Structure 1
Amino acid sequence: MLKVLLLVFSILLMQSGKVYAEKIVLAAAAGSIPTSYIENGEQTGILVDVINQVFMRAGYTVEIKLMPWARCLRSVEEGTVDGIFSVYMTAERQTFLSYTSEALITQVQAFFVPIDSPIVFDGDFQQLAEKSIGIINGTSYGPKVDAAIEQGLFKAVDEAQNSKSNVRKLLAGRVDLIPSYRHVVFSTAKTLGAAHHIKQLSPPIEAIPSYLAFTNKRDFSIVIGEYDKALSEMKSDGTYDRIFEKYFQ
């Protein structure tokens, strides 16, 4: 009788779609203030809070691993983690990732320079030709910046492991400018005591939706549907906005 009950329970569990063992393991960029970082020994950040709330509503246990971004991408491509956030949608990444439909965040990308920099930018990338640029290893900055880097527009491209290292290079004069999500770069500079030592070039480059995506090594279609539903509900009932407000009071 016990064996029969266990078999029935197993079948019901499989039909429910919740067959992802103990937890779903996700990777995110470490030290990305204010979206995902460690403070007082605890994971925190806007997107950490959003992800935890979404999966709680969807009925899944989630574990977040904060790592250098290049390692996040490598891990999800190899399937050693289940998913990654937040990640832009590119043709290359779609070969190894299954994207959710609901955008996790829309990131406004812009160029940043030291406060006394003479560099100007009116949207024409040719104004930045022969300048050196600092980027984070493995990071996409959207189609415009990615294309400019690939076409060799910049004099030099210097790669860092995280946002803090990239901002430090800018402040030390090792690069002329950096592209970044505006909240990340200013929050990072604030932690370095240098919030008033950098400035944003106007206009911004572009606003780009960024997502949670899962490895293609396993089928996460059911999880994706439940995640999209829970995140959409959070946006509708105000929970999503309240999380952002907590970090920008």
Structure 2
Amino acid sequence: MFKVLLFVLSMQLIHSEKVYAEKIVLAAAAGSIPTSYLENGEQTGILVDVINQAFTRAGYTVDIKLMPWARCLKSAQEGTVDGIFSLYLTDERQKYLTYTSEVLITQIQALFVSIDSTITYDGDLQQLADNSIGIINATSYGPRLDAALEQGLFKTVDEAQSSKSNLRKLLAGRVDLIPSYRHVVFSTAKTLGAAHRIKQLSPPIEAIPSYLAFTKKRDFSIVIREYNKALAAMKQDGSYDMIFEKYLQ
């Protein structure tokens, strides 16, 4: 009788865990074109599509909340959302987030200036010390630029809440340069009718892997395992690349 009761209880626990995890609530930066944004009131973007397809394959429903990036991080830290995408791996974030192992996207971080800017750069960030830079609040730009910002390299640092507002500061001459994922800044500039008004400084800062991560407030080890398998399969069968081609053709 005891064995039967133990079996029933264990099955209930397994079932309740699955029911709890069937709907995953994730946060992502709003207005990040072409990765996560609203178009005609509908969520769209490269990473929105990748995340939805990966979790569908893994057997879960996803509810994506698009919001300012600083709020995304705060929500994940407090556990009011289950996870967040896409973000770089940092020591600070690993204190409150459990990262998936499968890379969601590799982002090429570069610096951008207005088309008539005379700023020159050969890869040495020290050359840019006399310039003002616009960044997005609570955003990591990878080890090199994060370290330069922490050390106070730039003349002034101006924070914005989104890619669009940061780009507008550059276009208005309020900052000399901005860092960004290349596709995001040019897609955002296109929506503002200003793609011809900016240019990229060469070389890029660095290529950085970016991930989906889950709050440490709850155990998502099973979800993470199934998600990693699903995303790896998408890369293997070509569906991952097809999503990128859809938006970047």
Q: TM-score range by the shorter chain?
A: over 0.9
Report if aligned partners of 1:134, 1:169 keep a CA contact under 8 Å in 2: yes
RMSD (CA atoms) = 1.6
2:86 partner amino acid: S
- Provide the rounded CA distance (Å) in 2 between the counterparts of 1:43 and 1:107: 21
Q: Distance in 1 between matches of 2:58 and 2:10?
A: 20
Q: CA deviation at 1:16?
A: 9.2
Q: Once the 2 structures are TM-superposed, how far is the Cα of residue 15 of structure 1 from its aligned partner?
A: 6.4
SS in 2 for 1:203: strand
1:183-216 deviation per Cα after TM superposition (whole angstroms, max 9, x unaligned): 0000000000000100000000000000000000
Q: 1:62 is matched with which residue?
A: 62
Once the 2 structures are TM-superposed, how far is the Cα of residue 248 of structure 1 from its aligned partner? 1.2
Say if 2:132 and 2:175, in contact at 8 Å, map to a contact too.
Answer: yes
Given residue 215 of structure 2, which amino acid in structure 1 is its aligned partner? Answer: T
AA aligned to 1:235 is K
CA contact (8 A) 2:21 2:223 kept: no
Quote the Cα distance in structure 2 between the aligned partners of 1:53 and 1:196: 34
The one-letter amino acid of 1:157's match is V
CA contact 2:113–2:199 (8 Å) conserved in 1: yes
How far did residue 19 of structure 1 move? 4.2
Alpha-carbon separation, structure 2, partners of 1:86 and 1:9: 38
Amino acid at match of 1:119: I
Aligned to 1:154: 154
For residues 73 and 134 of structure 1, the distance between their equivalents in structure 2, rounded to whole angstroms, comes to 20
Aligned residues with identical type, % of pairs: 81
Q: Which residue of 1 aligns with 2:220?
A: 220
Counterpart check, 1:181 vs 2:178: no
Q: Is the 8 A contact 1:29 1:36 kept in 2?
A: yes
The verdict on how the C-alpha distance between 1:9 and 1:66 changes in structure 2, with shifts beyond 3 A counting, is farther
Q: How far did residue 17 of structure 1 move? A: 5.2
* Ranges in structure 1 where 5+ consecutive residues have no aligned partner: none
2:14 corresponds to: 14
What is the CA–CA distance in structure 2 between the aligned matches of 1:12 and 1:235, rounded to whole Å? 35
CA separation in 1, counterparts of 2:17 and 2:71? 29
Q: Which residue number in structure 1 is paired with residue 106 of structure 2? A: 106
Q: Where does residue 239 of structure 1 map in the other structure? A: 239
Q: Is the 8 A contact 1:26 1:85 kept in 2?
A: yes
| Residues 17 and 222 in structure 1, CA contact (< 8 A), matched pair in contact too | no
**Secondary structure of 1:202's aligned partner:** strand
Matches within 5 A, 1:67-216: 67-216=67-216
What is the deviation of 1:20?
2.3
Go from structure 1 to structure 2 and tell me whether the alpha carbon gap of 1:222 and 1:170 turns closer, same or farther (over 3 Å shift).
Answer: same
Distance 1:146 1:83 in 2: 23
Distance 2:84 2:9 in 1: 31
How far apart are residue 21 of structure 1 and its match?
Answer: 4.9
Shift of 1:130: 1.7
Please name the residue that 1:53 is paired with.
Answer: 53
Structure 1 position 126, deviation (Å): 1.1
Partner Cα distance (2:227, 2:135) in 1:
31
Give the distance between the partners of 2:19 and 2:222, measured in 1 at CA.
10
The aligned amino acid for 1:122 is: D
Distance 2:18 2:220 in 1: 10
Cα shift at 1:18: 2.0
Q: How many residues align?
A: 244
TM score, norm. by length of structure 1: 0.95
